[in-house]
Structure 1
């Protein structure tokens, strides 16, 4: 049985001035993600799944400590590297599983042609097949945003700033870059996420300290689902 790697995750909704202050301090001690462009950012497009009862959405809103969601994700419009991801929580700690997909496989999944997945050797594909077949899990909504990531190796820390969160409403056209996106209520928000293994180094803790600001349970998926 696969052993999950559990990680801590802290989220903050921050102001532009908070972002400038934290980013200014962070850039001197943390490295940039090698996948980012010259600006230090990249674009993310995700297609999230849910069932007819909105299981994933309800679990997020309720704040269950044990929950999961599936998504298909790729970066900067590059369809050579597409991932099926399952992101979940166990007792409040996060984990993520992923596997590679082709454009053709994605289009089959989106159209509901999933019988081929039944014979896959990939356990994550088999799990998605089972849940699409028996729990009526279906592609639900597109979410686009820009991410600025930083890496600090001690503690395996990853700090990201997400902004410009938009949704494709009911569109499932994952690879259509002309898909009209609607601004979510969070389009002007900046979401800072801090992920780490067993410990958060003191230097990082000091850098991201934002006075009395409390961590939040912000969800880009939930913010986008407000439209449908």
Structure 2
């Protein structure tokens, strides 16, 4: 699959719900959104997502979240589990209060190690060789070098996503079966070593929008009595791994 959509700046609202409520919410949102083009061909409209999180040796980006830093970031390599994948996304999500900004660059797998560990990348390190992509890639790599980030945690889950036709200005996702495992390797395989289940059978519902809060989203949250909650896959994954003594 080829994934290249990104909301560069958006608001994110997260809710933890059970499967029955997820089914009811899905029925409601189908009045406004369509299944995204990648899930529409998959069983249950869902596809696997893999994130390899990079952090410093003392887990700075994890600690920033735990400590409630209002301005924080996370760095990850996003891929979709294909054994023959030729490219992946290098991403940095920054949070300024409730606003999320994302820098993302599509890079060849064969150049990934050089990008992470080598000098500041150039246009030759990109799949889509544009000035905008180069700015994003160099911005991410500067932060990698600033905190000496290295692979720490592999997070995997199944995503079911809906969005506006021909636009992702409004997007709703259901994430299920979130697992996390420790790793110190840039390996992009889908399998995980000794993974832990992070949220059990709970479904993570996310409402994402770039501009004005759609009126029907307000109706949705009231109708289903949704309550804003924290659901940070990386941070919660580290917490569970620590509790189970699978990470120091």
> Which residue number corresponds to residue 69 of structure 1?
74
Does residue 1:195 correspond to 2:208, yes or no? yes
* Contact in 2 for aligned 1:45/1:142 (Cα 8 Å): yes
Does residue 1:140 correspond to 2:152, yes or no? yes
Change (3 A) 1:205 1:8: same
TM-score normalized by the length of structure 2: 0.79
Greater helix proportion: 2
The equivalent position to 1:149 in structure 2, one of 161, 171, 179, is 161
Alignment of 1:46-61 (within 5 A): 46-61=51-66
Change (3 A) 1:188 1:135: same
Does residue 1:90 correspond to 2:99, yes or no? no
After the TM superposition, which parts of structure 1 deviate over 4 Å for at least 4 consecutive aligned residues? none
> Which residue number corresponds to residue 42 of structure 2?
38
TM-score normalized by the length of structure 1: 0.85
* Contact in 1 for aligned 2:55/2:147 (Cα 8 Å): no
Structure 1 position 217, deviation (Å) = 1.8
Structure 1 position 124, deviation (Å) = 3.1
Structure 1 position 173, deviation (Å) = 5.1
Does residue 1:100 correspond to 2:112, yes or no? no
Residue 9 of structure 2: SS of its match in structure 1? coil
Structure 1 position 180, deviation (Å) = 2.9
Change (3 A) 1:155 1:174: closer
> Which residue number corresponds to residue 179 of structure 1?
192
Q: Distance in 2 between matches of 1:133 and 1:149?
A: 33
Change (3 A) 1:134 1:204: closer
Alignment of 1:20-31 (within 5 A): 20-31=23-34
Structure 1 position 16, deviation (Å) = 1.3
Q: Deviations over 1:177-225 (max 9, x none)?
A: 3333513231322100011122122223223435544211210001211
> Which residue number corresponds to residue 113 of structure 1?
117
* Contact in 2 for aligned 1:141/1:172 (Cα 8 Å): no
Q: Distance in 2 between matches of 1:155 and 1:105?
A: 29
Change (3 A) 1:201 1:107: same
Change (3 A) 1:64 1:25: same
Q: Distance in 2 between matches of 1:25 and 1:215?
A: 19
Please identify, of 196-205 and 186-195, the stretch whose mean Cα deviation from structure 2 is larger: 196-205
The count of aligned residue pairs is 221
Structure 1 position 76, deviation (Å) = 4.5
Q: Distance in 2 between matches of 1:148 and 1:155?
A: 14
Residue 144 of structure 1: SS of its match in structure 2? strand
